[in-house]
Amino acid sequence: MKTKKGLSSKPKPAKPKAKKIDPEQERREKVEKICELYSTENATIESCCSEIGISVRTFQNWINNNSELSDKYKKAKEANAKIGKDGIREKAATALERAITGFFVEEEETIERFNAGGVKTSTIRTKRKKYINPSTTAIIFALKNVDPQNWNDQNAVELSGEEQIFKIGEQIIKFK
């Protein structure tokens, strides 16, 4: 075989014949990939569809017209919701723990110095650690939720017939 420059080159290997893919099988595979991404990552359905190369509208049409695909999507949606709730729960617990115990943050301050002509002459960067004190509100919240018997400030009022009973903590007051 000759090239444009007149030199011979190796013959090109024959192209493999394209497999005929069943469109329904292709849809099923793409929906399965989208559902797998959606159920294993904290991602949106839009980002999963984009990753596979189809629009959200196409995805919705496919799952609306096929009950098997719709079931796979429902399972993926439940798994995604669980991931989201667990992630939020974990982040909230970590943040509450930090708010209760206090924590250090690193602050960076930058000071730029200029000469009389307005030209920057130097930059000074200082880093320092700052302690954030425990939050009283977070401590109260934690105590009320961990030990409501001793820390809850809700008053229970029971009315029975002519006798009125008020329960404040462990103390019971009766009125006739």
**Burial (CB count within 10 angstroms: exposed 0-12, middle 13-18, buried 19+), residue 82:** exposed
* Residues facing 175 on adjacent strands: 164
Encoded amino acid at 69, one letter: L
Distance CA 32, CA 30 (A): 5
Would you say 9 and 1 are in contact if contact means Cβ atoms under 8 Å apart? Answer: yes
Q: What pLDDT, in 10s, does the model give residues 14-61?
A: 666 666 678 888 888 999 999 998 888 778 899 989 988 999 999 999
Encoded amino acid at 74, one letter: K
Q: What pLDDT, in 10s, does the model give residues 53-93?
A: 999 999 999 999 999 999 999 999 888 888 878 888 888 88
| pTM for this entry | 0.45
Report residue 24 CA to chain centroid gap. 33
